[in-house]
Copies of this chain bind each other. A is one copy, B any other.
Amino acid sequence: MVTAARKPETGTPTVYDVAERARVSIATVSRVYRSPDAVRAPTREKVLAAARELGYVPSGSARGLASRTTGILGLCFPDYTDPETDTPGDGDENAATLYADHIIRGMERAARSRGYALLIAASLRDGPTNLVATLAGHVDGFAVMSRTVDAKDLETVSRRMPVVTLAGPAELGHLDNVQVDNRDGQRELTRHLITDHGLTDLAFVGGPADSPDAEERFLGYQDACRDAGLPVPPEPTLRGALTRTAGREAARTLVAGGGPTPGLPQALLLANDQMAVGALEEFAAHGVRVPQDIAVTGFDGIPLGAMAHPPLTTVRQPSRRIGEEAVALLVDRIAAPQRDPRPVVLPVSLVLRASCGCAEPVPAPRRG
C-alpha cells in the first residue's frame, strides 16, 4: 500500500486525507460511499471513523466529473411575482406563482424518492443564456416550464441531456412534454353551464394572449359553444392579467355595462380562480347576487376558491402531478435516452360548487 506523499491535512479534507488516516486506499474510501456493501465491515468502520474525525464531505463536483452524473434534476420556472411585495397575506399572489410552487413540490418529492435533488431557477427577462449556463451544466436532466427558456437554448441543452417541457404545448416536438387538459376541462365546465343549468348568454374572461394555458381554455370554451349550437366568439369577451385585481376589473366593467351586450350575461367564466375570486368580490360589492343574477366559474382549483362566497365552481388541475410526471419522464429517459418522445396529457376534473348554481349553499364543515 503506497499512501502517496501529499501535503499535510490542510483545507478541506479529501479522499486522500481520509484514506491516509484510515490506512486504506482512496478507492476504498470511494467505495464506502458508493457501495458500502462492497467493503468489509471493519474496513468500512475505519473509513467512516476517519471521515467523521476529519469532517469529510464528498465533493459533488469531483463525483460529477468522474462519474458523469450529478444526481440532480433541474427545473426552470417563470417568475411572475412582483419583487416589491412580500405579501403572503393579501391573497393577490399571482396564480402562476402558486402553480409553480406546486410543480416544484411535486418534482422535489418525486425526485427525492428516486435519489435526486432538485435545482431550481426562475427565468427572468435577463436572458436565459445565464439560466442555461447556471443550471444545465449541473444536472442530469432538465424540466422547463412553458415559455421560460429560449427554444434555441432548449435545443442545445436537449442535445446533451434529457429535457422535458412542462405546463404548455410541446415547444420542441422531439422532447417529452407534460401538460394538463385545459381545453377539455374548460369545454366540460362550459357544457355544464349550458346543458345542466340551461344558460346560453355566456361571457369568457381570458388571460394574456401569450398565456398558452389561458388560450387553451378559451378554445375549450369555444368548443362548448360550438357543440351547443351557440355563437362561437372569435375572441374572449374581455382579457386581463391572471390576477384577482384583473378579475375585479372585469366584473366592474360588466356591471358598468361595459360588456358587448347591455345587461349582465347569465354566466361569467374566467380563465383562472384568482380572477374568478376577484369577480366574486366585485359582484358582492355591487349587490350582484351569485349565482342568482350571474353564474361565475374559475379554473385551477386553488384553496381560495373553496373559501369564496359563494364557493367557486372550477376545474381542478393536478399541478403536483405535473412535477411528478416530469421526473418520471426524465428518469425514464436517462435510462433510455433513445426512446421516442412521449407527450403526457393529464386529466382535469370538474369541481361543482355554489357559484354556478350547484348545491352546497353554505360551506358545510366536513367532519374529519
Contact = CB atoms under 8 A, between A and B. Distances in A.
B305 A89 contact: yes
Given A160-B55, A365-B285, A121 B101 contact: no
A106 B12 CA distance: 30
A193 interface: no
A88 interface: yes
A97 B101 CA distance: 10
A306 B90 contact: yes
Interface string A151-176: 00001110110000000000000000
A229 B123 CA distance: 54
Q: Please tell me the size bucket of the interface on A.
A: 35 or more
A302 B89 contact: yes
Interface in A44-64: 52, 55-64
Contacts of A156: 52, 55-57
A136 interface: yes
B121 A135 contact: no
B101 A303 contact: no
A304 interface: yes
A3 interface: no
A20 interface: no
Nearest to A138: B60
Contact of A368 (B93, B104, B112, B248): B248
Interface of A: 12, 33, 52, 55-65, 70-72, 79, 81, 83, 86, 88-91, 93, 97-98, 101-102, 104-106, 108-109, 112, 115, 117-122, 124, 132-139, 155-157, 159-160, 245, 248-249, 277, 281-282, 284-285, 300-309, 314, 316-321, 351, 363-365, 368
Given A57-B137, A118-B121, 6 more contacts: A57-B157, A60-B70, A60-B136, A61-B70, A88-B98, A117-B120
